[in-house]
Structure 1
Amino acid sequence: MTEPLYLTPEEVSERFRGAISAGTLANWRAMRVGPAFVKIGKSIVYPVADLNQWANQQTVRCHATNRLNGKEHEQS
């Protein structure tokens, strides 16, 4: 089975395991923030390619701390 090209707000919520509700998506659309969407008449859909790009932009990069590097007691 191939991945769909577009997802409904409810499907987007499922994709992100409920962390983003359909209501939150509606609020974001009104404020023009969040992932890109397409409006066709009254229907709202989210292009999967744009969702992937938006999700990648939300990635938080963490730096290793000295404790994790085994340098807990080293002084500079």
Structure 2
Amino acid sequence: MTEPLYLTPEEVSERFRRAISTGTLANWRAMRVGPAFVKIGKSIVYPVADLNQWANQQTVRCRATRSTQREGT
């Protein structure tokens, strides 16, 4: 089964395990922050490619601790 090109706000919430509510998505749209979206009439959809890119930008990279650095040397 192929992945859809667009997701509804409800599907976006499901995709992120409800860590992002549809209300949060609505607030982000109003503030023009968060993932890119497309508005067609009254319908809002999120391009999956843009969701993937946005999610990758949210990755937090941790630096190694000193004890981990010593073990590697």
Q: Under a length normalisation based on structure 1, what TM-score does the superposition of the two structures give?
A: 0.89
Describe the SS at the equivalent of 2:67.
coil
Which structure would you say has the larger Rg? 1
- Please state how far the C-alpha of 1:67 moved relative to its aligned partner: 1.9
The whole-number CA distance in structure 1 between the counterparts of 2:67 and 2:12 is 38
The whole-number CA distance in structure 2 between the counterparts of 1:23 and 1:8 is 13
Partner of 1:17: 17
Which amino acid in structure 2 is aligned with residue 26 of structure 1?
A
Which amino acid in structure 2 is aligned with residue 11 of structure 1?
E
Partner of 2:46: 46
Q: Which structure shows the bigger proportion of residues in helix conformation?
A: 2
Q: Which runs of 4+ in 1 moved over 3 A?
A: none
Pairs within 5 Å for 1:1-76: 1-70=1-70
How many residues align? The count is 71
* % identical equivalent positions: 87
The whole-number CA distance in structure 1 between the counterparts of 2:63 and 2:9 is 34
Superposition CA RMSD, Å:
1.0
- Please state how far the C-alpha of 1:70 moved relative to its aligned partner: 3.9
The whole-number CA distance in structure 2 between the counterparts of 1:68 and 1:22 is 40
The whole-number CA distance in structure 2 between the counterparts of 1:67 and 1:8 is 45
Please list every run of 5 or more consecutive structure 1 residues that lacks an aligned counterpart in the other structure: 72-76
Describe the SS at the equivalent of 2:69.
coil
